[in-house]
Amino acid sequence: MASNPAIKTINQRPQTRLRAEQSRALETRETILNAALEEFGEYGFEGANVRRIAQRAGIKHQLIGYHFGSKDDLWQETASHFLSDALDLITRAGRESRSGTATDLLKQELRAMLGFHFSNPKIQRLVMQELIPGNPRLTWLVNGFLRPIRKSQTALLDAAQDEGGLVDGDTMLIFYLLVGIVTIVPTMQEEIRQNTGLATIPDKTLDEYWALIERLLFPVNRGSTG
């Protein structure tokens, strides 16, 4: 028996409407997360205001509770969403490394993270707002993201030193030196704008900054990521 095209079309309508609603919900969540990143990065958790986040997002503030629940939940979702992007970038950089040496892999990951933070300075601002002793959000960040990153990176630093491709020194201290190098200029872009007149950091400056990092930290210039 042949199927009735009219019935088939009617049955497809609820599915089409459901997909459209799901798409709108995802877009709303993404809009809220971007607004929350700006708010938490600017004011920290304690100073952030849910109504202000809603104003940034251009939505009714009740929608934030609908999609994320409490302010604590929204902060965790925001941090997890954007820090996961950073972790994914490190993973992709490792897969795309053109050499099997730890030194070249380290360079690849650092160069990728430098570009990431230049493009996304608000993420580091969110983290820096929570660097307060006894802060439960800092503990959450350390356990969920920062400690795994440190462990994987210090192991890579040790391997690069063993190859002779990285300057000597305590790898824990070198790790935090690298964190500062990769994040400080991106997070200071507003101060740089006011102090130098540069509205944005040009690509040429980013390349020069990376070349300086290589000269300072990698005594053996393998030239694979320059």
Residue 140 belongs to domain with CATH number:
1.10.357.10
Among the candidates 51, 69, 87, a domain finishes at 69
Instruction: Enter the tokens of residue 171.
Output: 């790898």
CATH of residue 25's domain is 1.10.10.60
Name the region of 220 (left: φ>0; alpha: ψ -120 to 50; beta: rest): beta
Confidence (pLDDT) at 9: 54
Torsion of CA 147, 151, 153, 159, to 10 degrees: 170
Are 108 and 219 in a shared domain? Answer: yes
Are 134 and 205 in a shared domain? Answer: yes
How far apart CA 14 and CA 12 sit, in angstroms, is 6
Nearest to residue 113, comparing CAs of 99, 98, 129, 94? 94
Among the candidates 38, 69, 100, a domain finishes at 69
Distance of CA 107 to the CA centre of its chain: 18
Confidence (pLDDT) at 55: 96
Residue that is written with structure tokens 């920062």 in the block: 146
* DSSP-based three-state secondary structure for 60: coil
Confirm if 166 and 160 have CB atoms less than 8 A apart. Answer: yes
Confirm if 160 and 103 have CB atoms less than 8 A apart. Answer: yes
R_g over Cα of the chain = 22
Confirm if 40 and 71 have CB atoms less than 8 A apart. Answer: no
Cβ burial 34-53 (10 Å sphere, 16+ → b, else e)? bbbbbbbbeebbeebebebb
Confidence (pLDDT) at 224: 46
Confidence (pLDDT) at 223: 45
Does the model's pTM come out above 0.85?
Answer: no
Residue 88: give the domain boundaries.
Answer: 79-226
Are 134 and 222 in a shared domain? Answer: yes
Q: CB neighbours of 155 closer than 8 A, spacing ≥ 6?
A: none
Confidence (pLDDT) at 89: 80
Nearest to residue 36, comparing CAs of 56, 65, 6, 8? 56
Task: Please identify every stretch of the chain with a pLDDT value under 70, giving residue numbers as ranges.
Answer: 1-23, 94-99, 220-226
Among the candidates 44, 69, 94, a domain finishes at 69
